[in-house]
Chains A and B, each alone.
Chain A
Amino acid sequence: MGKRPPKYSAGALIKHGLTRGDWPRMWRRPEMRSSYDVVIIGGGLHGLATAYYLAENHGITNVAVVDKGYIGGGGSGRNTAIVRSNYLTPEGVAFYDRSLDLYNTMATDLNLNIMFSKRGHLTLAHTDSALRTMHWRAEVNKLQGIDSSVIDAQEVKKQAPSLDVSQNTRYPILGALHHPPGGIVRHDAVVWGYARGADVHDVHILQETEVLDIMVEGGSGPGGKGAGGKVTGVKTSRGDISAPIVVNCTAGWASLISNMAGVPLPITTHPLQAAVTEPCKVFLPTVVVSGSLHVYVSQTDRGELVFGASVDPVGTYRVNGTLEFTEELAGHVLELMPGISKMRLLRQWSGLCDMTPDYSPVMGNTPVEGYLVDVGWGTYGFKAGPVAGETLAETIATGRNADLISAFGIERFTEGDLVGEKGAAAVGH
């Protein structure tokens, strides 16, 4: 516990600049062992954060994080990095708020500047009913101590002057849910920070290692897998690893991995697309989300506008994107800001999202002993990465689901107790 990598600071930068020495590696490329105490599948934010907290908070360090590609190559390197905690249900709010706490201190905790820009987050309401939902969220948020309130169109204009708040538009802006602590983060830096923090504890980050199967004994399903079974390890493209605990942190690929253990998931994989414009001088100070228009936008410090939308309607593992996404996006953005018609879309990309029926994750122990899931992160798992890692590490270390995730267990789908986050998570991410 408490091990630290060589420190980054302004002083260290100057020293390196003067001596022109090399910086040490942020993480190594270690030799794979034949067994680990814990194998985490997926080197995204969730897998790496889990590994970090296992080591940092619980002293469990004989851990491998395996990824078929490079770390952060999945959703963690493709998302639009919005963080916020103004969800709708008390379970959701408590959970995401803890994550926001961790983001607040992350730069110093991990000694890496994750460029957290706490610029405020606006969820626009274009209809009476949307406004009512915003009030609902604001009220729930306030009760849990979250800074969140409904503001009117004039105040919206102050927050984001480029928005058209005139009332004769097709989607007039009637008001917005304003959440000052929300903002954006440099997503890759978060991934690297956790990787660096885990690597110091000798956690093995095994890139370009694909999990091909999960070994389970004694289960009720075909091949001894499934409910009642017990995990013994994984088969990978670089050989077998035995391990009593295997964790599925593979987001968009979660079903494929879980089917290997014989544990079906309530998940469908849909692409979520995003796009960025050429840079322009900064004019949009906050994050703007419109549920009715299925769009959200923020401007990076580099001047690019970053856009996102809701998931593609057709489920697929293809990530080459669609043209209609950019067309609809542009149309909707221009409804909000007609004055930016001459900005150019530079690049579009797509990532896979593991969508659940209730827009909430599936976390914790499963009917297969030693096989845990941290999936169903859909379009909102980036902001949850830190708390998911923290609670999952606790769950692994103690053997029982951490309190904060008690609403998110897989059993809710057999018990019919879904979480009501759809309204707050569908576009807002």
Chain B
Amino acid sequence: MSNRLTAQPGEIIDRSTSLSFTWNGKAVTGHQGDTIASAIAASGVDVFGRSMKYHRKRGILTADHWDPNLFVQVGDEPNVRAGSRRLEAGMVVSTQNVWPSLEFDLGAANQLVGRFLSSGFYYKTFMRPKFLWPLYQKVLKKFAPGGRIHWETSTHDAYDKRYVHPDVLVAGGGPAGMGAALAAADNGASVLLVEQYGDLGGHLLWGDDAQRAQGADLAAACRAHANIEVLVDSTVTGRYDHNWISVMQRSHDIAPERLIKARAGVMVVAPGLVERPYVFAGNDTPGVILSGAARRLINLWAVKPGNRAVVMSANADGDAAVADLERVGVEVVAVLDARKGESIVSVEGKSRVSKVALSDGRTLNADLVVTATGWTAPTSLLNMAGDRPVYDATAARYFSNSLPSNILATGGITGDGSTAELEAHGRATGVLAANRALRRRHDRVAQTARSNDPAWDKPAEMADSRTPLNRVPHPECYRSTTHGMVDFSEDVSSKDLIQASKEGFDSIELMKRYTTVTMGPSQGKLETVNAAAVLAEANQVSMAEIGTTVWRPPFAPITLGALAGRIHEPVRRSALQDWHDAHGAAPLLAGQWVRPDHYGDPMGEADNVRNNVGLIDVTPLGKLDLRGPDVSKLLELVYVNKWSKLDIGRVRYGTMVAEDGVVSDDGVTGRLGEYHWLMTCTSSGAGAVWEMLEDWLQTYRPEWQVHVTAVTGGLTSINVAGPHSRTLLERIVEDVDLSADAFPYFSVRQGTVAGVSDCIIWRIGFTGELSYEVHVPSGHALHVWEELLAQGEDLGCRPFGVEAQRILRLEKGHYIVGQDTDGLSKAPTAGLGGLVKLDKPDTIGLPELKAAYERTDLPILVGVQTDDPEIVPEEAAQIVDGGSNTILGRITSSRMSPTLGRSVCLAQVDPSLAAAGSSITVLLADGRRVTATVQEHHAHVDPEGARQRV
């Protein structure tokens, strides 16, 4: 049975097309221009789904985006709004909230016990017996509404984002919004006009001939205007501070949805009005629809909404619906004029309305009930700008209260009027918007340094002299003498709300939380006003005293995909990473960087460094080039040790603490020239150290002359370590004397390496071996690396990875900030005793450093060896007090040492255990307690440093 009417004058379907799709497995066809719902309704379907709690049958209610009953699954996309989603050929559409089927749904049993399942019932039961609660929960979960997300097969496709900077952004493409856009554009503003539905026109689209013609003219003018960009099928979803506005663009060429971010000078809010349902018994029965739904079905999609109708009308739109119904041959058996107090009392019917009881006592047979009982002003976007709308009893709706200067409202949200009046108000608003936006644009151009004053004059400030739209009196029609649904998506009735108020949930926010009214997918667009009205009734106060709930963003739901956009979190790669990849390196993601963890044999790699020579790429090491006469003062300030007397050609190790005395970073800094230094710091701390230096130089010591340049990526750092490292380097370094006397430990030289000039070489020993760190301009790094390997072949030169380096440094007892220290570790914990100089006039954290050295209770970092050499305690294994559970420290680093053939550790221990020779108990992850001994040094291998000083 088809409900498709003959051609209607305003229809937007293209009857020459035929789009096939399936609805619950059955083949159906529709036309281009149909929504999913209009096509299904045209095919004769009344029931689209089941309600959330009671699984009541539900049909079309509003036939637009906010329709709470038209959520369907389309392929792998859940919760598609069939009321607004355009039909496409091949769609696989199904009902969501049913089990096992739409016609026969077991959940409907809840209807029978509904009287026991009042709002919040779950808070009052299932508490005993306690062991049954998890079972109840499983059952509750089964009733979760909504569609199914196919996480197994769905993917995150190509999404995109866009930025725009319109002077004026207009939300809503009805007559007022279009008028505003045109006037703003005429006055020199760049305008972005955003319309939620598929075409400009707003309510004019389903209006009479004259309205449609007016709408079409305005739309054509907007599209033709050079200053206006029109976006249809796009929703303004949010307004954030400083007019940062989000727009969701659907039907985009490359992305299923695209997020547009606009920094608008002024936003004009013109979203029109949302029709609200009337509350009476059975108001959620399929066949009870709103006047707007009737008009849209008939006029846009040529769908006959029923055969015998009862209409309740409180306004001109209701009257127009009567005319539309009659025109297409629906028998209107009664028109109840709500302005005269006539109303509907209740309806009966299971899958469709069959009987309607009226306030005059009559009961009529009908299959369609149309109500036109007033409007909700969708003030979301105004709310987001801080407005708290107030209720006007005369017009029976809410109006905005106070708006910031960069937001203007126009159209139905501000009052009533003819098309011409709405357009005129829009135009006046557009003029004002352009004035404010251009003034702002002028300010912003002028504020940008180095730009001269704008070449155009700042317009004089215009007063808001708009003539407000009328507020046409409207009866306050909210609830009949019976109870019915207030929230269709949450199955909350007026009775539930009254009960909640009596239980103490007597403010709108408490009531909302207790009953979940307005918490469903339309977020209150349909329900808020009725809910407030019922609460006012329950509390016996005026609606103005009730207030409304705050509407939160987004105005309409947005896919996670669109919000995420392209996920682009790049990994930093050194100039040598391709080489590592090509040579079998296991990648290690460390912070921002990917690094070679090892090349297959970390123990062997470490061994090779101890015996021959190895190369490791340490580029991620933070590197800052410091120049100027005051660098040594800066170093003196930011490091805990002394720096003033470092000679040119020398390097020194330093530790940084924060103002609270906690160890924050460390590294080696070398003096390359009178006014030129290179600082290194940890990879993860590189950014923070740079910012910290800038802070000191700009904020506290602006008189110091130091220039800081980050060179981490610009210099590729290669550590050449091992007994043969000098021999190797001598083969390819041209102009530096590498002999022990000429280039001693902790020195720096600049020279040419493998033909590459301007390399920096310093002699340090993180691994504990004779070693050189070579910093090469990154463009030539691969050449130097390969040359080192080639020239070192006979010396056993091999690359080593991060794991081997960790083994070597632990054998040598070098701690790692953030691993062997933590967020509370002060200098004494790290064992910096001799290094720290407390007699400086200023150094970061000085008072805390002094205080820390007075304390005797701080944990101490020590070298530890397990008494059983085979046992390698896990990093983070706790050190406990014998057999008890009292924690006295923890293992911070541990490895099997290839050099010693036994396990080695660093640990933070209670000071009572810090003396060399102390025996400690380590609790292993498997629960065993083993003993270990505190060592004299952090270093397990070569504590005297003989190997690195050769």
Contact A280 B521 (CB under 8 A): no
- Say whether B722 faces chain A, with CB atoms less than 8 Å apart: no
Among candidates A22, A277, A329, residue contacting B499 with C-beta atoms closer than 8 Å: A22
| Assembled-state Cα–Cα distance A282/B140 (Å) | 10
- Which residues on A sit within 8 Å (CB–CB) of B696? none
- Say whether B560 faces chain A, with CB atoms less than 8 Å apart: yes
- Say whether A318 faces chain B, with CB atoms less than 8 Å apart: yes
| Assembled-state Cα–Cα distance A384/B869 (Å) | 44
Among candidates A133, A303, A321, residue contacting B553 with C-beta atoms closer than 8 Å: A321
Q: Which chain B residue lies CB-closest to A172?
A: B589
Contact A339 B154 (CB under 8 A): yes
The segment from A246-254, A346-354, A393-401 that touches chain B is A346-354
Contact B144 A282 (CB under 8 A): yes
Contact B147 A339 (CB under 8 A): no
> What 1/0 mask marks residues of chain A from 221 to 258 whose CB sits below 8 Å from any chain B CB?
00000000000000000000000000000000000000
**CB proximity of B41 to chain A, nearest CB, Å:** 23
Given the contacts A135-B875, A321-B240, A338-B156, A343 and B149 also touching, CB distance less than 8 Å: yes
Among candidates A10, A135, A186, A303, residue contacting B925 with C-beta atoms closer than 8 Å: A135
Q: Which chain B residue lies CB-closest to A133?
A: B876
Contact A341 B521 (CB under 8 A): no
- Say whether A1 faces chain B, with CB atoms less than 8 Å apart: no
Contact B149 A323 (CB under 8 A): no
- Say whether B782 faces chain A, with CB atoms less than 8 Å apart: no
**CB proximity of B136 to chain A, nearest CB, Å:** 9
- Which residues on B sit within 8 Å (CB–CB) of A341? 154-157, 159, 559-561, 564
The segment from B207-215, B503-511, B709-717 that touches chain A is B503-511
Among candidates B156, B571, B818, B877, residue contacting A334 with C-beta atoms closer than 8 Å: B156
| Assembled-state Cα–Cα distance A8/B259 (Å) | 48
Contact A282 B564 (CB under 8 A): no
**CB proximity of B555 to chain A, nearest CB, Å:** 11
- Say whether B125 faces chain A, with CB atoms less than 8 Å apart: yes
The segment from B73-81, B427-435, B600-608, B755-763 that touches chain A is B73-81
| Assembled-state Cα–Cα distance A14/B154 (Å) | 44
- Say whether A402 faces chain B, with CB atoms less than 8 Å apart: no
| Assembled-state Cα–Cα distance A129/B123 (Å) | 42
Q: 8 Å CB contacts to A: which residues of B638-670?
A: 660-661
Contact B876 A139 (CB under 8 A): yes
Q: Which chain B residue lies CB-closest to A105?
A: B130
| Assembled-state Cα–Cα distance A122/B642 (Å) | 46
- Which residues on B sit within 8 Å (CB–CB) of A418? 660, 824
Taking residues whose C-beta sits less than 8 angstroms from the other chain, chain A's interface range is 35 or more
| Assembled-state Cα–Cα distance A8/B76 (Å) | 42
Contact B559 A132 (CB under 8 A): no
Given the contacts A132-B819, A139-B925, A348-B552, A340 and B149 also touching, CB distance less than 8 Å: yes
- Which residues on B sit within 8 Å (CB–CB) of A337? 151
- Which residues on B sit within 8 Å (CB–CB) of A77? 509, 513
> What 1/0 mask marks residues of chain A from 323 to 367 whose CB sits below 8 Å from any chain B CB?
100110111011101111111111111000000010000000000
Contact A327 B259 (CB under 8 A): yes
| Assembled-state Cα–Cα distance A28/B564 (Å) | 46
- Which residues on B sit within 8 Å (CB–CB) of A16? 116, 118
**CB proximity of B7 to chain A, nearest CB, Å:** 36
Q: Which chain A residue lies CB-closest to B490?
A: A302
**CB proximity of A137 to chain B, nearest CB, Å:** 8
**CB proximity of B897 to chain A, nearest CB, Å:** 19
| Assembled-state Cα–Cα distance A335/B591 (Å) | 16
| Assembled-state Cα–Cα distance A306/B406 (Å) | 32
- Say whether A279 faces chain B, with CB atoms less than 8 Å apart: yes
| Assembled-state Cα–Cα distance A389/B712 (Å) | 51
| Assembled-state Cα–Cα distance A344/B521 (Å) | 10
> What 1/0 mask marks residues of chain B from 831 to 847 whose CB sits below 8 Å from any chain A CB?
00000000000000000
| Assembled-state Cα–Cα distance A335/B568 (Å) | 10
| Assembled-state Cα–Cα distance A128/B875 (Å) | 11
> What 1/0 mask marks residues of chain A from 45 to 86 whose CB sits below 8 Å from any chain B CB?
000000000000000000000000111110001000000000
Q: 8 Å CB contacts to A: which residues of B814-865?
A: 818-819, 822-824, 848, 851
Number of B residues with CB within 8 Å of any CB on chain A: 98
Given the contacts A320-B241, A340-B149, A329 and B124 also touching, CB distance less than 8 Å: no
Contact B514 A281 (CB under 8 A): no
Contact B885 A20 (CB under 8 A): no
| Assembled-state Cα–Cα distance A192/B510 (Å) | 10
| Assembled-state Cα–Cα distance A340/B563 (Å) | 12
Among candidates B125, B569, B876, B885, residue contacting A10 with C-beta atoms closer than 8 Å: B125
| Assembled-state Cα–Cα distance A114/B880 (Å) | 38
| Assembled-state Cα–Cα distance A320/B521 (Å) | 20
**CB proximity of A68 to chain B, nearest CB, Å:** 13
| Assembled-state Cα–Cα distance A40/B557 (Å) | 39
Q: 8 Å CB contacts to A: which residues of B493-548?
A: 499, 502-507, 509-510, 513-514, 521, 523
Contact B116 A113 (CB under 8 A): no
Given the contacts A344-B560, A420-B822, A25 and B502 also touching, CB distance less than 8 Å: yes
Given the contacts A143-B887, A144-B885, A323-B246, A342 and B154 also touching, CB distance less than 8 Å: yes
- Which residues on A sit within 8 Å (CB–CB) of B238? 323
- Which residues on B sit within 8 Å (CB–CB) of A117? 137
Given the contacts A9-B124, A342-B77, A345-B560, A280 and B261 also touching, CB distance less than 8 Å: no
Contact B79 A280 (CB under 8 A): yes
Given the contacts A129-B819, A321-B240, A343 and B124 also touching, CB distance less than 8 Å: no
> What 1/0 mask marks residues of chain A from 131 to 168 whose CB sits below 8 Å from any chain B CB?
01101101110011000000000000000001000000
Q: Which chain B residue lies CB-closest to A191?
A: B513
Among candidates A25, A115, A283, A326, residue contacting B504 with C-beta atoms closer than 8 Å: A25
| Assembled-state Cα–Cα distance A25/B504 (Å) | 5
Given the contacts A70-B507, A339-B155, A280 and B147 also touching, CB distance less than 8 Å: yes
Given the contacts A139-B923, A320-B241, A342 and B149 also touching, CB distance less than 8 Å: yes
Q: Which chain A residue lies CB-closest to B159?
A: A341
- Say whether A108 faces chain B, with CB atoms less than 8 Å apart: yes
Contact A278 B115 (CB under 8 A): no
- Which residues on A sit within 8 Å (CB–CB) of B700? none
Contact A334 B876 (CB under 8 A): no
- Say whether B152 faces chain A, with CB atoms less than 8 Å apart: yes
| Assembled-state Cα–Cα distance A73/B511 (Å) | 12
Q: 8 Å CB contacts to B: which residues of A206-220?
A: 207
- Say whether A180 faces chain B, with CB atoms less than 8 Å apart: no
Contact A344 B559 (CB under 8 A): yes
- Which residues on A sit within 8 Å (CB–CB) of B880? 143
Sample (14) of A-B pairs whose CB atoms are under 8 Å apart: A70-B510, A108-B127, A115-B123, A116-B133, A132-B876, A170-B589, A171-B589, A188-B513, A281-B144, A323-B244, A338-B156, A340-B154, A347-B523, A418-B660
Top 10 A-B pairs, shortest CB-CB distance: A339-B151, A303-B144, A279-B146, A330-B563, A341-B561, A344-B557, A17-B116, A8-B124, A136-B876, A135-B876
Kindly list 13 other residue pairs between chains A and B, CB separation below 8 angstroms, not including A128-B590, A138-B925, A140-B887.
A23-B502, A115-B137, A143-B887, A320-B384, A323-B240, A327-B259, A330-B560, A334-B561, A339-B153, A344-B559, A346-B521, A347-B523, A348-B552
